[in-house]
Amino acid sequence: MTRTVLLGLILNAGLLLGLAVVLDLLSARTSLGRTWFGRTLAGVAAGLIGIGLMSAPIYTEPGLQFDTRSVLLSITGVFLGPVATVVAMAMTIAFRLWLGGAWLVGVLVIVASGGMGLVWRTRHPRTTGVRSLWSLYALGVVVHVVMLALIATLPEGAGLRTLPVIAGPVLVVFPLATVALGLLLMQRLERVAVVARLRAQDVERERLIAAIEQSDDSIVITDASGTIEYVNPAFVAVTGYKLGEALGANPRILKSGQQDAE
């Protein structure tokens, strides 16, 4: 692997990691995966990063360039769904056509990468559910074997000249990059799921508190030692005790005191 290829790999890896950061920022402002706007915005973010990858290629031949858009688009297909993937594919295809050269193979790589990511999303639900790193690795291998096969079809021997240089990084590094990016997005999705569960619990807690407050029945909540921690308005109305008198007391003492008063 030449020094140029290694530096290109490092730069591409940094841009790929940027996708997770961008999606974290977007998820704080919009419900990604739940609205068309959020999905489209995620696709635009992925498309812009894809253009950045293509602007900093790892390896170039006359009319040909090599980058990690295949990693980006396959993972986009798995985790962000069809809307975001189609948007990202359309943006990267448009940019690839603008670059010129052997555009047909480049476009086919884009379509194959995003398409296989979407197929993986459908046929391997564990990748987005229980999350299987082995499934992500298998996706990385399949996508990049297909990519190498497409590159081999380049005319005038360009594919045969390119394969010896890029085959190693593709088959060794790129499946691992697919797993690494997938792992980052899995962690992001898990954080989003945790926040959603906490918000749902807060809503349920607020509903329960409202029901207790409005109940006509006297409700008392005590700690493990029997000390009163909460009473609802109905308890105050029925017993005549003030809130300050009830909190911190023992229900049996209150009951006894009430009987003595009677």
| 20 pLDDT higher than 70 | no
* CA 147 to chain CA mean position, Å: 25
Q: Which two tokens stand for residue 233?
A: 């308005």
169 touches 58 (CB < 8 A): yes
Tell me the pLDDT band of 112, cut-offs 50, 70 and 90: very high
Quick one: pLDDT at residue 1?
47
Q: Which amino acid, one-letter code, is at 181?
A: L
Integer-rounded Cα radius of gyration of the chain: 29
| 29 pLDDT higher than 60 | no
Query: Cα–Cα distance between 197 and 131 in angstroms, integer?
Result: 19
Please compute the mean of the pLDDT values over residues 152-177 and round it to a whole number.
79
pLDDT tens digits for range 174-208: 888 888 888 877 777 677 667 777 777 878 888 88
Query: Cα–Cα distance between 54 and 74 in angstroms, integer?
Result: 15
Query: Cα–Cα distance between 96 and 86 in angstroms, integer?
Result: 15
Per-position b or e across 175-212, b if 16+ CB within 10 A of its CB: bebbbbbbebbbebbeebeeeeeeeeeeeeeeeeeeeb
Q: Which two tokens stand for residue 55?
A: 């602007």
